[in-house]
Amino acid sequence: MANIYLIGPRASGKTTVGRLVAQVLDRTFLDADQVLAERLGTSVAEAVAAHGWPWFRDQEAEVLAGLAVQHGLVVACGGGVVLAETNRGLLGQGFCVYVQCPAEILAARLTSDPLPGQRPSLTGRPLDQEIAEVLAEREPLYLSCAHLVAPGAEPPDRVAAFILAALGTAENPVQP
């Protein structure tokens, strides 16, 4: 069974939706940022502060490469995983779902639940500007990787149901 990768910006719901999808499909769920943080023994924000974004992206790529050799996983990827061409190739080996969400909803979610240790600022700009800038840069990359675009503005159970419907029923899932 190929892995199912959920991609999209921070706060799009990848982790919440991924857990739901994995539960229904009886697959192992992993959050790639959490796997990386455990490997490093520190939070994403602390790692970025200590070593910078380029170093973090290299570590992120190593984690994805390690997950890509496993099978049957549901993986919530970090928002910037699509920035590296190598990562985009690995994502294409599985079934890649872009959890697409409008900037204003992302901003509202990040404002209400910022998780600063997990979701550090990418640009240092005000949140609304940062989200718009990052989405403008990454949207084409997310779309180029996606086998499916899921409506991330919907409640997580509906997003999971949308993904599961695309894969097939829980009783007879398509083997992506």
Residues 26-59: tens digit of each pLDDT? 999 999 999 999 999 998 888 888 999 899 999 9
169: Cβ contacts below 8 Å, ≥ 6 apart: none
Q: Return the pLDDT at 36.
A: 94
Of the ranges 23-27, 109-113, 131-135, which one carries the lowest mean pLDDT score? 109-113
Q: Which fold has domain 4-167?
A: Rossmann fold (3.40.50)
- Give me the helix-helix angle, 53-68 and 32-40, nearest 10°: 110
- Cα(47)–Cα(36) distance, rounded to whole angstroms? 10
Mean pLDDT (whole number) for 143-171: 90
Per-residue pLDDT of 66-93, as tens digits, reads 999 999 999 999 999 999 999 999 999 9
**Mean pLDDT over all residues of the chain?**
89
**145: its two tokens:** 């990787």
List the beta bridge partners of residue 31: 76
Q: Return the pLDDT at 170.
A: 43
**3-state secondary structure (DSSP) of residue 29:** strand
User: Apex CA 44: angle with CA 122 and CA 152, to 5°?
Assistant: 65
